[in-house]
Structure formats: structure tokens, C-alpha cells
Amino acid sequence: MSGISRRALFAGSAVGTAGALLPAAAGPAAARPRTARASYRAAYHFTVPGQWKNDPQRPVWIDGAYHYYYLHNADYLSGEVGTAWRLATSTDLVSFTDRGIAVPKDTTPNGDVWSGSAVVDTDDTAGFGAGAVIVLATMSPHDGPSDQAQYLYYSTDGGRSFTPHGTDPVLPNPGVRDFRDPKVIRDEERGRWVMTLAENDKVGFYHSADLRSWRYVSGFVRGGIGVLECPDLFRIRAGDGTVKWVLGVSANGKAAGLPNTYAYWTGSFDGGVFTADADQPQWLDQGWDWYGAVTFDKRGADGTPDEETRYAIGWLNNWDYAHITPTIDSDGFNGTDSIVREIRLKRAADGTYHLVSRPVAALDRYVSRTVRLGDLAVDGTRVLDYRGTAYELTCEITWDQLTGAGVQLRRSPDGVRHIDAGVHRDYAYLNRRPTVSPDMSGRWQESHSPFDPARRTVTLRALVDRTSVELFLDDGRYVHSTAAFPYLVDTGLALFTVDGRAVFRNTTIREFEV
């Protein structure tokens, strides 16, 4: 994906005026300076220390820690464009330590550095030494869609700093529009490297023995969901022992009534060709704001990858309104990520397979306060005696007969503004329309996923932070992520039903200190 990032003006908009209502702020967030003043900065999600961030780059396990690189523009406020790779490290994927710029921009004639991937070259296939960290990333010297090409950087200090391998691409553009976001994995069985590359409506597959020269071998073409970006390819084992390959892309399916997040196909991969189980993709997030997402290995204590669980992280933003955020005025930054998720492969009753998600287990270690409200009967609207801007709410809703039920998050004192999450007839949803939304078009406010009303029960797990909500439904088959900018005085919480009575069982609120 492009690293271009220009600051948009939003003076006079609903978002731009939100800063006037900032109350006293709460605790610190990961990878950011501590502050005692009012803040829109997330309390427990990853945020860039300052200026701008967009695409996550797949974290890499090096010397007992995850090395998380992401696109960063230190010149955002001055209006200068272009991104570098900034690094943060973590041992648990909740608390991160900022390590500064790892792959700088504008140090070669090719300019800034876009998305790609890093790998550890354990066997010295590239010739920079055993254990060197190699980055393959897109650069576009003339900022044109037809001169995007893939360039190599290498590190001999454990991934902390990188040196360009000359100024020529290791994979030149063959003369096509959109040729970017290389994702590299090691094919140990065949002793070679495999690259997936975003090429408009196609994912290209390439082979290399040394990471320096690449050969095209096949393409996976799917239209109807916009320009494909940030491809992802991995192998995962289901609980029943079935092994699947998963091919993922960031894609914009809004024109077809689909999400604008991470589309994926389960299937098989023979080292050169990916064969999908079905033509239509599934989606790892049903919301509007989980873009540029990457998955990566879950490592055990001995560093061995877990075959049944992977991690995933996404950018909590959308290019339709990427620069419309009050955080740039209140806190001097624009860039928040989703919580890291654990993803697993699960078999459905019809024999098909899909991915399920849940927040990373390490989040449990950061609980600073738990409020147990127990079982609550609701018929209409029930305002709870709780106030907060950053927390997790869990409950199981059960009923005999009704039209809908859910929760009002970040509710204003007068009850006019809120973010709604719940079920209605045959769908589940997350709706940011009643609060301050970044979508000025008004079209992308409520996201949907299927729901079977005959079940008469649903489990909600909502991760609420100062500028986002992530809703996990039941076993995590469906997740909705949305950016929103409620006034910081909007701290209320309510439960509601439509046309009937429900019991909200084991209603629990947890707050975190990171």
C-alpha cells in the first residue's frame, strides 16, 4: 500500500469540534508518552508515538521478542509525504516499546518505503550472514502506479536498523499498474522462498532461492472487491486435525455490499499455485476499520510456531477518511491499531472451514479493575451505573421472543449520542451513527453479519477504547471493528431490547492499565 499521507483539514466539522469537550483523561497506552491531560489516545491499543502511522507490517520473532514494524511518517504535520518503517518490540503483544526508525525513507533515489515484509534468513540464503533480517518492500521512485517495484534492505543487528541493498529493485515492475506489498514466507519443504504480491485484482506468486532474484510462477485472480492490497499466505491446522492454507488480502468490497477489511479464502497450496475451496471470500472482520491487516506466527516459550493459532493485527482506519481524526489536534498523532487477535481455523456444521478470532490472551494480565454486574433483566432501555471511556464489556443475552437486543456504548449524559452493538432479527450489527463518526458521507455507519434468531441467545464481547470499538460475537466467527470519536464526556453505558424482554447474563466490565 502507498505510504502517502497528507494532513486533511477538518475545522468546523463534527470531529474537529470534539476536542472542546475533553474531560480529565485516564491511564497510559502502549508505545506512547505518558500524559496526565485530557486525551483521545487509546488506553490499551497500540498507537503511534507521534505524527502518522498506517499499514502494520507482519511482526517477526527475533531474540525472544516480537519485532513489529509499521509505516510511519514523521513529517505528517508539516505536510511532507512519505513513510519509513518504524519499530516497536513486545514480548506479549499488549505492551510495546518504541525503538524508532528501522528502515528510513529518502535515503536512496527511490524515496520512501511502502509495505512489504521482513524475514529472518536463518541459513544465509541472501549472503548477508546467517540470521540477517531481510526486508522486501515496495518503493515507487516517481510515485506512479506503473513504477512500483520491490526493493531489498538488510539488517545485521537483529532487525533494529537496515541498509539498502543498492538502488535497483530485486523485482522490477514488468509494466503493470499496481505492483506492491510483497509478503514473503519460507517453503522449508522445497527449500525456497515464496512471495505473494498485490497486482490490482490478482495476487501474484513468485519463487526465489536467495531473496535477491524472483521468478513468477502463478496468479490468483478475483474481481469485484476493489484493488487487492497487502496479501497474506499461511498454513493452519484446525482442531479436528485438518490442515488448510489461507490466502488473505485487504480489499474494498463496499460497492458490492461487503466489508472493506481483510478478505480470505481457505484452500490448498502446492508451493506454486493456490486453489481456493470457494470462489467467494470470507471476511475476518465485518466492520469498516480493520485494514492493512497482517497475520503472523504465535510462538511458544521455545520459539516454535503454533500450528493451530496465529496472531493478527490491523490498522483501525479507512482510506475514505484516514485524515479525519481529532487525535492530531488533541495529542499530535494519527494512527491506532486493533488489539492483537488470536485466530484459529474451525469447521462449520456444513463441513466448510472458517477463521475465528478472539483478543490476545495476554490482555487478561493487564486488568486493573473488574465490575461484575451479574444477570440483568431488561425490557426497553436500562441505564447502568457505570462510567468509562476504555473498557471491555462481556455478556450473554438470552430471550424467548423479541425483535432485537444489545448495548449502548459511550452513551452521552442525555442519551442522544451512543454506539450500538447487538442483534436485530436476522443480523448482528455495530452502529456508530448516533455518535461522532469519521464517515462524513453518512453511508458507512452500521456494519452487519448474519445471525440466526431461532437461537435466542448471543454472546457479546466489546472492546471499547477512546476512538474505537471492536465487537466479538459468540465464538469470534464474526468481528466488527469501527473507528469513532465520541466526546470524552460520553461515558455512559446502557442495555436495551426491542419488542420484548431479555436477560443479560454474567454482565462483566473490565478495565485495563497498560
The catalytic residues are: 55
What does the alpha-carbon distance between residue 23 and residue 499 come to, in Å, rounded to a whole number?
36
| Rg of the Cα atoms in the chain | 22
What does the alpha-carbon distance between residue 241 and residue 247 come to, in Å, rounded to a whole number?
19
215-221 and 367-378 as β-strands: parallel, antiparallel, unpaired? Answer: unpaired
For the chain, the distance separating the N- and C-terminal CA atoms, rounded to the nearest angstrom, is 30
DSSP per residue over 403-443, as a string? Answer: SEEEEEEEE-TTSS--EEEEEETTEEEEE-TTS--S-TTSS
Cell 497500540 -> residue = 46
What does the alpha-carbon distance between residue 323 and residue 440 come to, in Å, rounded to a whole number?
12
Q: Which residues contact 446 (CB under 8 A, 6 or more apart)?
A: 429, 430, 431, 432, 433
User: Nearest CA to 50 among 98, 2, 117?
Assistant: 98
What does the alpha-carbon distance between residue 355 and residue 374 come to, in Å, rounded to a whole number?
30
Task: Count Cβ atoms below 10 Å from residue 351 Cβ, excluding itself.
Answer: 6
**Which one-letter DSSP state was computed for residue 449?**
E
Single-letter amino acid, residue 392:
E
User: Nearest CA to 286 among 311, 260, 264?
Assistant: 260
Q: Give the strands of the sheet with 341-347, arranged side by side.
A: 291-299, 305-315, 341-347, 353-359
Determine the longest span between alpha carbons in the chain, in angstroms.
68
What does the alpha-carbon distance between residue 162 and residue 133 come to, in Å, rounded to a whole number?
8
What does the alpha-carbon distance between residue 427 and residue 431 come to, in Å, rounded to a whole number?
12
Distance (Å) of CA 390 to CA 135, 290, 508, 510: 36, 19, 14, 9
Task: Count Cβ atoms below 10 Å from residue 207 Cβ, excluding itself.
Answer: 18
Cell (9 digits) for 248 = 488473505
Task: Count Cβ atoms below 10 Å from residue 193 Cβ, excluding itself.
Answer: 23
What does the alpha-carbon distance between residue 326 and residue 310 come to, in Å, rounded to a whole number?
33
User: Nearest CA to 83 among 126, 53, 46, 110?
Assistant: 53
